Amino acid sequence: MPDLLARQVGRYFERDGFCFNFAPAADEGKCAFFLFFQNRYERPCSARVAIRPVTFGGAHGELVSMTISCPGAAFGVCTKEVGVPAKLQGKKVSFDVGADVDYPEGKGRMMRFGDGILLRRNTQFVDAFALTTSSLALLGGTLLYHFPARGKHRLPDNVAANLVTPAVEQVQILWEPSALTGTNLPFRNEC
């Protein structure tokens, strides 16, 4: 299967075969997170992606989470509006990224072979492997640090600081192997 995600976003994150990357952009006076995704396997998966801004001094901002059902080998986009505090508008911000993925019917065959930046962190940003290795290293007299996967993006200017209505995520499947025979995308978002 074609790596449509790489064509759209370049580098991307991966958790258990669910690949994705995100970008914030202004959309009708609000900030929207556009999360592009593609499943590497032939069977459907459900994923929960968590994006948490890291603000000045290492403090964490409000968590943005998105839940996505993705058919086998499909490519799509999930959009969710968020409020952006005035002090962060127009600023480049780091984001911790985590994901949990489930294949209720099993993964099946691998359909797409492009690798992403592997995530060990889940949506709670707790990693049992990191906790275990850090504890063992500490017992041996070594201090070992583990950091979550991070992405860095500039937040849009002149957008709402708070949303009037609760944010609703919209998931759109843009391509599936059975839906189209070519690999052309219906659009190319420049965010």
Distant-in-sequence, close-in-space partners of 63: CB < 8 Å, separation ≥ 6: 50, 51, 52
Task: Average the pLDDT over 106-113 and give the result.
Answer: 92
**Residue 173 has what pLDDT?**
96
Higher pLDDT, 148 or 20: 20
Length of the chain: 191
141: its two tokens: 């007299």
Taking the mean position of all CA atoms in its chain, how far away is CA 180? Answer: 25
Specify the pTM.
0.78
For residue 187, is pLDDT > 50? no
Higher pLDDT, 61 or 120: 61
**Residue 151 has what pLDDT?**
82
SS3 string of 55-119? CHHHCECCCEEEEEEECCCCEEEEEEEECCCHHHCCCEEEEEEEEEEECCCCCCCECCCCCCEEC
Q: What are phi and psi of 7, to 5 degrees?
A: -65, -30
Domain ranges in the chain are: 4-175
Task: Average the pLDDT over 77-86 and give the result.
Answer: 93
Quote helix, strand, coil % in the chain, to nearest 5.
15, 40, 50
Percent of the chain with pLDDT over 90: 49
pLDDT, tens digit, 9 for 90 and up, residues 169-182: 999 999 999 743 44
**Residue 41 has what pLDDT?**
96
Distant-in-sequence, close-in-space partners of 166: CB < 8 Å, separation ≥ 6: none
Taking the mean position of all CA atoms in its chain, how far away is CA 155? Answer: 16
**Residue 116 has what pLDDT?**
77
31/181 Cα distance (integer angstroms): 34
Name the strands in the sheet holding 92-102, side by side, starting at the edge strand that comes first in the sequence: 64-70, 45-54, 92-102, 149-154
